[in-house]
């Protein structure tokens, strides 16, 4: 199986797996225990926290370890919105967010919070902010199309509002961005930022939420004073150590080099096939992500055919697998339901080579031609 679904998850790097296995055997203590084994676990936990913080350019105390991106997003959204005791609360987000943001925001709406869904342009978000807005949540890079949002500009808008006396904060789901484009949290200017280990060749089940100093976030789970009272539960020290290892490896495998693979793949398709289009074909796009519209062909049929041929790809968010609904991201971009259902996502990673890409392109071209020829041969029902 040749794997081209790295936006869904990445294979665990061998170096990370080694660290994880060694920690499972060699660091058995609870980081909250006062004995030697516990204090050794605490030392490893904090050293790993500092290592990850250095990669993100933030203070170690500003990182809260979670089970992954979904929990980080929930903690950021509910932690800010529910921490504000005012009777009038308003949240602004975009229509193209991951379900891990959309569903918590919709739950807030069910609980009486006012919510605005808008486009991702800075001006659209600025226009949606009101006096009672407490949170703006905009993803850094889209998981389906790879489109990169101008988070720095949005942060300036939010900071200007806060400087004028409004209690408003900016959260960004950085799960897809971190590891694929440079992320400097000090320069980015966000107040909260979500990341996950399994998107950067680390293990599943471990992530983090950056909470800038003096951001008044409220815990949404209860049962302990772990993570400075922001997230209870015994920390996964082996998971955090593996996460730190995955972060260190980012410098050795620059993701921008994947752009050559993506560009080669898209060029071969565009030069060979008619009636196809790249969704979100802009310069502000993740270097590893290609979302292609094959007009007149079912994306699910394409996925199955490629899987049979030995290629793993996706029609969109892995968290929406099994859904028969067209991609909400592509619909928000203006694609029709039929076009959204005819789109396939290809996301490249470290293990992919130019030879792999050429084989993938050949397979896609062959499948598209076969499916279109089969459609042409299909008998048409007479009109009555």
Phi-psi region of 182 (alpha: psi -120 to 50; beta: other; left: phi over 0): beta
pLDDT higher than 70, residue 324? no
Sequence-distant (≥ 6) Cβ neighbours of residue 41 within 8 angstroms: 27, 28, 29, 30, 31, 33, 237
Calculate what percentage of the chain has a pLDDT beyond 90: 88
pLDDT higher than 60, residue 15? yes
User: What separation in angstroms does the CA of 312 have from each of 306, 328, 345, 360?
Assistant: 7, 22, 10, 10
Give domain status of residue 3, yes or no: no
Does residue 180 sit in the same domain as residue 264?
A: no
Give the distance, in angstroms, between the CA of residue 16 and the centroid of all CA atoms in the same chain.
20
pLDDT higher than 90, residue 152? yes
Question: Is 180 within 8 Å of 164 (Cβ atoms)?
Answer: no
Q: Output the pLDDT for position 325.
A: 83
User: What separation in angstroms does the CA of 347 have from each of 9, 176, 214, 247, 370?
Assistant: 10, 11, 37, 20, 23
Does residue 218 sit in the same domain as residue 261?
A: no
Listing DSSP states for 222-249 in one string gives -S--HHHHTS-S---HHHHHHHHHHHHH
Q: What stretches of the chain show up as alpha helix (H) in DSSP?
A: 14-26, 36-56, 69-81, 99-110, 122-128, 151-163, 185-188, 226-229, 237-249, 258-272, 299-308, 328-332, 337-341, 354-377
Q: Output the pLDDT for position 349.
A: 97
Does residue 315 sit in the same domain as residue 210?
A: no
Name the pLDDT band for 320 (thresholds 50, 70, 90): low
Question: Final residue of a domain: which of 201, 231, 251?
Answer: 251
Alpha-carbon distance of 363 to 11, in angstroms, equals: 23
Does residue 262 sit in the same domain as residue 322?
A: yes
Q: Which of 34-43, 196-205, 312-321 has the lowest mean pLDDT?
A: 312-321
Indicate the length of the chain as a whole number.
384
Calculate what percentage of the chain has a pLDDT beyond 70: 96
Q: What stretches of 311-353 show up as alpha helix (H) in DSSP?
A: 328-332, 337-341
Name the pLDDT band for 318 (thresholds 50, 70, 90): low
Q: Which residues pair with 2 in a beta bridge?
A: 311
Number of domains in the chain: 2
Does residue 323 sit in the same domain as residue 344?
A: yes
Does residue 266 sit in the same domain as residue 214?
A: no
Give domain status of residue 381, yes or no: no
Give tens-digit pLDDT for 113-123: 999 999 989 99
Nearest CA to 93 out of 129, 138, 126 is that of: 138
Q: Output the pLDDT for position 383.
A: 47
pLDDT higher than 90, residue 317? no
Does residue 189 sit in the same domain as residue 305?
A: no
Alpha-carbon distance of 164 to 153, in angstroms, equals: 17
pLDDT higher than 80, residue 244? yes
Mean pLDDT of 146-174: 97
Question: Is 172 within 8 Å of 139 (Cβ atoms)?
Answer: yes
pLDDT higher than 90, residue 84? no
Give domain status of residue 218, yes or no: yes
Nearest CA to 340 out of 331, 350, 348 is that of: 331
Q: Which residue has the tokens 């619909």?
A: 331
Q: Which residue has the tokens 């796009």?
A: 285
Mean pLDDT of 226-251: 95
329: domain CATH number is 3.90.1150.10
Does residue 243 sit in the same domain as residue 263?
A: no
Give tens-digit pLDDT for 36-67: 999 999 999 999 999 999 999 999 999 999 99
Nearest CA to 252 out of 84, 76, 14, 28 is that of: 14
Domain containing 333 equals: 254-375
Model's pTM, two decimal places? 0.94
User: What separation in angstroms does the CA of 226 have from each of 23, 33, 42, 64, 66?
Assistant: 20, 12, 11, 9, 11
pLDDT higher than 70, residue 308? yes
The one catalytic residue among 82, 113, 247, 319:
319
Does residue 195 sit in the same domain as residue 260?
A: no
Question: Final residue of a domain: which of 251, 271, 300?
Answer: 251
| Residue 245 annotated in active site | no
């Amino acid at each position: 199986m040749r794997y081209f679904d790295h936006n869904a998850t990445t294979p665990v790097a061998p170096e990370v797996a080694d660290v994880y296995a060694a920690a499972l055997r060699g660091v058995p203590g609870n980081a909250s225990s006062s004995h030697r084994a516990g204090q050794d676990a605490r030392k490893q936990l904090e050293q790993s926290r500092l290592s990850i913080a250095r990669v993100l350019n933030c203070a170690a105390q500003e990182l809260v370890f979670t089970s992954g991106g979904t929990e980080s997003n929930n903690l950021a959204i509910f932690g800010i919105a529910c921490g504000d005791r005012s009777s009038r609360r308003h949240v602004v987000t975009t229509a193209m967010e991951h379900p891990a943001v959309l569903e918590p925001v919709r739950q807030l709406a069910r609980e009486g919070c006012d919510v605005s869904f808008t486009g991702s342009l800075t001006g659209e978000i600025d226009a949606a902010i009101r006096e009672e807005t407490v949170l703006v949540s905009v993803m850094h890079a889209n998981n389906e199309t790879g489109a990169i949002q101008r988070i720095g500009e949005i942060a300036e808008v939010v900071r200007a509002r806060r400087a004028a006396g409004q209690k408003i904060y900016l959260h960004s789901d950085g799960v897809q961005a971190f590891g694929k484009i440079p992320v400097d949290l000090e320069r980015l200017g966000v107040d909260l930022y979500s990341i996950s280990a399994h998107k950067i060749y680390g293990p599943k089940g471990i992530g983090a939420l950056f909470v800038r100093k003096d951001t008044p976030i409220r815990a949404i789970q209860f049962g302990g004073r772990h993570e400075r009272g922001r997230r209870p539960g015994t920390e996964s020290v082996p998971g955090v150590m593996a996460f730190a290892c995955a972060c260190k490896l980012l410098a050795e495998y620059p993701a921008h080099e994947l752009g050559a693979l993506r560009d080669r793949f898209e060029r071969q398709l565009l030069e060979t096939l008619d009636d196809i289009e790249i969704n979100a074909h802009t310069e502000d796009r993740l270097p590893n992500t290609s979302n292609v519209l094959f007009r007149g062909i079912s994306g699910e049929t394409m996925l199955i055919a490629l899987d049979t041929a030995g290629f793993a790809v996706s029609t969109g968010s892995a968290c929406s697998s099994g859904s028969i609904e067209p991609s909400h991201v592509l619909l928000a971009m203006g694609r029709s339901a039929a076009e959204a259902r005819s789109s396939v996502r290809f996301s490249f990673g470290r293990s992919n080579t130019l030879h792999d890409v050429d084989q993938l392109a050949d397979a896609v071209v062959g499948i598209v031609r076969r499916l279109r020829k089969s459609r042409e041969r299909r008998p048409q029902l007479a009109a009555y």
